[in-house]
Chain A
Amino acid sequence: MHREVPDFPAEVRWLLEEGYFGYLGTADSRGNPQVTPVIFVQEGNSLFLTISRVAEKLKNLRQNERVAFLIDIRDPSDLANNRAVLIEGRAKIYGIFDVLSNLRRALRVRGLLLKKYPKYAAFYAAKRSLLPKPWRTTLFISRLLVEVEIGRFSYMRETKPLALERSAE
């Protein structure tokens, strides 16, 4: 069963569903930040992504669960006509037992990733043997599933923040 999240404003829901790349901002325990592009899917009130086991952002998440996640759409013909949503929330790294105890949800997330990124999925399947181990997609061996629970969000358009609220909490 797909969980709907009807309380996001339409502009935000569109970015969550259609945004192709996101940017994950993490910080270590001393507050030193890091930001990298990622691919993601939305499932319920969370975003899901997979992170290489050797990535620095994973080390940061083990020290500090707070994250910022930005999804934006650029307009190449008008740089000011960009739209973005900034998510602030907490990240959870899924271990084997977390996946097993949330198996249906984990499988749903896998299906959403394959559906949203079919070209990437085909690429990874075709080139698997040529890729370095940390870049492969094998869960637990190369990558870990990470959930970002959406706490607060801010919507920005034309480089200005706009006040949008959830219709229901």
Chain B
Amino acid sequence: MSQAPVTAKRILTEEAFAYFCTTDMRNRPHLVPVFFIFDSSNCHAYFLFSRESKKLRNLRSHPRVSFTVDVRDAVNPLENKGVMIRGDAKAEPLDDPGVDKDHVKHLFEEKYGWSSSQSFYRHNHDERILVDVSIRKITCWQGPTFLSCPKFCIASRRRGGVCTSSVGGEDHEIRRSRG
């Protein structure tokens, strides 16, 4: 059985930084390291960006985004592993009644150990905007092996799910075994 969903979920849950890529109106990529939360219950990722940041301007005009979370090994390339996400981003002011900000705040505090006394909604006097990324595609790799998994592989662990594996650039379909 493929270990990709387990590996991907662990990386997305445990690693601190995501490398978040947006594009501007002229299709020029922009890339920054950011803190993030992956919520496996709904397969969404959450970010807090400054209202004036370039990435926020970019995703408002072009909501398709990509981010990568990885574990590096400086000795053995076979041990490099990571997850690349492609999804649709939506910027939501934290005072929007539709945002469950307490849940998101709890997730950030749990992961990064931010005390509740620290300002959560402001950073360097800038208002923070919650960015909700709905995940469309997950690509997971370890060394030369790539696994592209439908999001339910991670979100629900349901049996019989299908992963598409790409080993050496050749696509294969792997049907996860039942039982």
A residues with a Cβ closer than 8 A to B are 20-21, 23, 25-27, 29-37, 52, 54, 64, 66-70, 72, 74, 79, 82, 84, 86, 88, 119-120, 123-124, 131-135, 156, 160
Residues of B within 8 A of A119 (CB): 74-76
Q: Which of B26, B66, B78, B124 has the most CB of A within 10 A?
A: B66
Which residues of the partner chain A approach B67 to less than 8 Å between Cβ atoms?
35
Question: Given that A25-B31, A66-B29, A86-B32 are contacting pairs, would A35 and B62 also be in contact in the complex, using a CB cutoff of 8 Å?
Answer: no
* Distance between Cα atoms of A156 and B50 in the complex (Å): 15
Listed in ascending order, the chain B residues whose CB lies under 8 Å from chain A are 16-17, 19-23, 26-33, 35, 62, 64-68, 70, 72, 74-78, 80, 82, 84, 86, 112, 124, 144, 167-169
Asked, given contacts A54-B169, A68-B30, whether A23 binds B19 with beta carbons under 8 Å apart, the answer is yes
A79 to B30, CA, bound (A): 22
Q: List 28 A-B contacts (CB under 8 A).
A: A20-B74, A21-B72, A23-B31, A27-B29, A32-B64, A33-B29, A33-B66, A34-B66, A35-B29, A36-B68, A37-B19, A37-B70, A37-B82, A64-B27, A66-B28, A68-B21, A69-B31, A72-B33, A79-B17, A79-B35, A86-B32, A119-B76, A120-B77, A124-B77, A132-B169, A134-B168, A135-B144, A160-B124
State the Cβ distance, A148 to closest chain B Cβ, in Å: 11
Known: A32-B86, A52-B169. A86 touches B68 (CB 8 A): no
Query: Distance (Å) between the CB of A144 and the closest chain B CB?
Result: 14
Q: Measured between C-beta atoms, what is the minimum distance from A164 to chain B in Å? A: 16
On whether A35 and B21 interact (CB within 8 A), knowing A66-B29, A70-B33, A132-B169, the answer reads yes
For the complex, what is the distance from the CA of A88 to the CA of B28, rounded to whole Å? Answer: 9
Given contacts A119-B74, A132-B168, is CB(A23)–CB(B29) below 8 Å? no
- The answer to whether B84 touches A123 (Cβ under 8 A) is no
